[in-house]
Chain A
Amino acid sequence: MGLRDVAVVGAGLTKFMRRSLETGRELAFEASKMALDSCGLTMDDVDCVVIGTAPDAFDGVHMKGEWLADGAGGWRKPVMRGYVGGGTGVFSPIQAWYHIASGLFDVCLVVCEEKMSTCQPHPQGAFLTIFDHTTERALKPNLLWIFAMEMQRYMTTYGISERDIARVAVKNKRNGLDHPATQVGADITVDDVMNSAVMSWPVKRLDVSPTSDGAVAMVLASDRVARRITDKPVWIQGVGWSLDTQYWANRDLAYPTYLEKAARMAYSMAGVKEPRKEINIVEPYDPFDYKELHHLEGLQLAPKGGAPQLIIDGVTERTGNMPSCPSGGLLGVGNPIAAAGLMKVSEIFWQLRGEAGKRQVPGTPARGLAQAWGDLMQVGTVIILGNEPSSR
């Protein structure tokens, strides 16, 4: 795929925390250092840097990419920050992919960071400014409104219950207990979710991932270099991304068309014809429990309205036929926006190498998919990783 094949060769991450002592730069440094150490590289080996981080408003620094660059090894190197809101965590390795697949660079360090706690009194307030300044902001929307409304539309369209959706939170929080970065891993029940405080009905406290501070970094390399760095490169087989209209209230909220487009782009690149059969392990973006279901359907891994059945049938457990969010996801680990997406990519990376420790899914998964989402619920970013370079 592309001019040259590209592989992930190393990764590292910090804890995900509600509020960290470390500055954003320091978080970026810790993750970068871990990622480089994990594959025995130094900054001298890195040709270029891709930084992913969501709105400047959280960290409280305009032109945040430049400000973070020092901590991300970006001193006197080509550094680019790509930006698609919440989709950024999966988009950043895609951006790194095109840096390397273009032939211009061999080794790229990808660093995703977020320090949401900087925004006081609550990071959620920063989201007011994502709404249209003239047609929506004056209504003083809370970010939860739009997700609650999308959840409600999904439930109503397919007759899905809150309890069925809550199973996702239970699964992911339990999975999250096994992730070393976890901020919110827990053993909860569907009843716990149903009894948690209603924030914006139907969204309840335990349906939502937290705001977090954290950073994740990953090293990507071209094929000839990757094979010298590690015995187990994990190959990028396909990438896809798609952004829908800004007029989100004009869209069908029950189904993420933008994600289907992104997924088909990635499947086509990867030569995947039957996703449900050929994707062994998946990390769909789960900032809310209903989103995992919504996204599994957009990813063509479940029929419309059919994702809840996969959860009920145990297909998406670690021991199931298609483990979904074995990492624990955003619900189980935490949600430092851009870093969370990259955490999911790192999970696929470690799972395919058999290095996910207690989270390791049985068998030998050969191909996995990580996906992120964001903006006004309108962007889908998809990356497919596998133990072989693309078959195309």
Chain B
Amino acid sequence: MTRRVAIVGVGATVFRSVSPELSYKELMYEAAIRAYADAGIDPRVDVDSFVTSAEDLHEGTSIFDEYTPDQLGGVLRPNHTITADGLNSIAAAYMQILTGEFDVVVVEAHSKASNSLTPEQVAAYALDPVYTRPLRAHPHFIAGMEMNRFLSESGYTREQCAQVCVKNRRNALANPLAAYGASTELREVLESPPAFAPLSHADIARYADGAVVVVLADEERARQLNSIPIWVRGVGWCSDTPALETRDWGQAVYARLSSQMAYKMAEIQNPREEIDLAELDDSFSYKELQAMEALGLCEPGQAGAMTVAGETKPDGSLPVNISGGSLGTGLAHEATGLLKLFEIVLQLRGHAGPRQLKNARVGVAQSWKGIPHTSGAVVVLGRE
């Protein structure tokens, strides 16, 4: 009899472009105490394992996991770091609980992007040192190339991508955690300065600082702790090639394979019908359309039209990025996926206030590792 795993607590700080009065430790602590209060637990007694998501170069410290346990209540407990988006840590926590050896696991991720003074150097440091870095081009060229190929293969247009920006930033106005809520016009997005053509500046999500903590528990604990456990129905993650030379430029294969793994676990055969809301990668506007296709949330070639017709708006047939997405909340390094998960948890609990959807029963969160990579994760959550 397989165990079931639920999310029993979530906590997040507000996300802002700068957070000068708090160190990253203090951001982590704030998110943690909110999550623990939400779950009704004491981390020194109730938590069996801690999983954090971080990359050294985002922090400016090597072996960053050294600095995580104290402010999470994890000292002298099992702690480890996953160098990937928070959704991967959710998968790791899920697996730990399923082994039967852990009942309550905490997941954390944060962004202090404002503290990194040379982000393009950090991004360049991820490029292959022999094949790509010597070209000395700003790494975002990779997103520009991917967008170009994607539009050419799919037939989507820059206007449809721009519609994603308009929708998500407007959605963010209703999200008190979001950094970049705004009422923008399509024209403004299209006329924003070109960045890495066909990308314009407005197509690119800006960074924000903040932290998210999630508490997971097995079914028995979950039912003791929280009146509305949100079930982890499925998880999936996948790494495609890091090589620029041999990758599939048009499709998000990693997202498709991740979602297939998660849907299989969640016993979802028809995602378009069975998923009520989706929080998808929109670190670049076109990625949302690419993810919609990869996750089977629309017929091939339909994502652009659906967006323009308003189907992915909050009052549409498949709300996408009701949180505001990264375009609206701010891109948050490894916390990006957890922010998406946070929204879905609130929606499924019926606690999303002015953003609350009717009949939200099943949601999917999806994240991408970011430039220059083709890896990512998917988590499916359900009320049942």
A contact residues around B99 at 8 Å (CB): 2-3, 97-98, 101-102
In the bound complex, how far is the Cα of B95 from the Cα of A83, in angstroms? 17
- When C-beta atoms are compared, the residue in chain A nearest to B78 turns out to be A241
Interface status of B77 (Cβ within 8 A of chain A)? yes
Q: Count chain A CB atoms within 10 A of each CB in B2, B69, B70, B99 and give the residue with the most.
A: B99
Say yes or no: B81 contacts A63, CB within 8 Å: no
Q: A3-B99, A66-B375, A99-B95 are in contact. List 9 more A-B contacts (CB 8 A).
A: A60-B125, A62-B123, A75-B240, A76-B238, A84-B65, A246-B68, A376-B66, A378-B66, A379-B66
Select one of A1, A74, A85, A240 contacting B66, CB under 8 A.
A85
Q: Which of B65-87 contact A (CB under 8 A)?
A: 65-70, 74-84
| Count, A-B residue pairs, CB within 8 A | 194
A contact residues around B268 at 8 Å (CB): none
Q: A56-B56, A67-B126, A98-B92 known; A243 and B238 CB under 8 Å?
A: no
Say yes or no: B98 contacts A55, CB within 8 Å: no
Interface status of B373 (Cβ within 8 A of chain A)? yes
Say yes or no: B239 contacts A62, CB within 8 Å: no
B contact residues around A95 at 8 Å (CB): 80, 92
Interface status of B60 (Cβ within 8 A of chain A)? yes
Q: Count chain B CB atoms within 10 A of each CB in A55, A70, A98 and give the residue with the most.
A: A98
Interface status of B253 (Cβ within 8 A of chain A)? yes
Select one of A61, A84, A245, A247 contacting B125, CB under 8 A.
A61
Say yes or no: B126 contacts A126, CB within 8 Å: no
A-B contact pairs, 13 of them (CB 8 A): A2-B101, A67-B242, A79-B237, A79-B238, A79-B239, A82-B82, A82-B92, A133-B60, A243-B66, A243-B69, A246-B66, A262-B78, A378-B66
Interface status of B62 (Cβ within 8 A of chain A)? yes
A contact residues around B84 at 8 Å (CB): 65, 80-81
Say yes or no: A269 contacts B101, CB within 8 Å: yes
Say yes or no: A69 contacts B76, CB within 8 Å: no
Sort chain B's interface into a size bin. 35 or more
Sort chain A's interface into a size bin. 35 or more
Interface status of B354 (Cβ within 8 A of chain A)? no
B contact residues around A55 at 8 Å (CB): 56, 62-63
Interface status of A103 (Cβ within 8 A of chain B)? yes
Q: Count chain A CB atoms within 10 A of each CB in B60, B77, B242, B375 and give the residue with the most.
A: B242
Say yes or no: B239 contacts A66, CB within 8 Å: yes
B contact residues around A54 at 8 Å (CB): 63
Select one of B69, B79, B239 contacting A75, CB under 8 A.
B239
A contact residues around B100 at 8 Å (CB): 2-3, 101
Interface status of A145 (Cβ within 8 A of chain B)? no
- When C-beta atoms are compared, the residue in chain B nearest to A91 turns out to be B80
In the bound complex, how far is the Cα of B377 from the Cα of A178, in angstroms? 44
Interface status of A139 (Cβ within 8 A of chain B)? no
Q: A70-B243, A77-B239, A85-B65 known; A265 and B126 CB under 8 Å?
A: no
Over the window 231-275 of chain A, the binary record of Cβ atoms lying under 8 Å from chain B Cβ atoms (1 yes, 0 no) is 000000000111111110000000001100110010001000000
User: Binding site of A, secondary structure by majority: helix, strand, loop or mixed?
Assistant: mixed
Q: A82-B82, A242-B77, A243-B78 known; A127 and B240 CB under 8 Å?
A: no
Q: A78-B237, A103-B2 known; A62 and B82 CB under 8 Å?
A: no
Q: How far is the CB of A123 from chain B (nearest CB, A)?
A: 11
Interface status of A42 (Cβ within 8 A of chain B)? no
Q: A63-B373, A80-B88 known; A245 and B69 CB under 8 Å?
A: yes
Interface status of B208 (Cβ within 8 A of chain A)? no
Say yes or no: B63 contacts A375, CB within 8 Å: yes
Closest 3 CB pairs of A and B: A102-B98, A102-B95, A243-B79
In the bound complex, how far is the Cα of B88 from the Cα of A82, in angstroms? 10
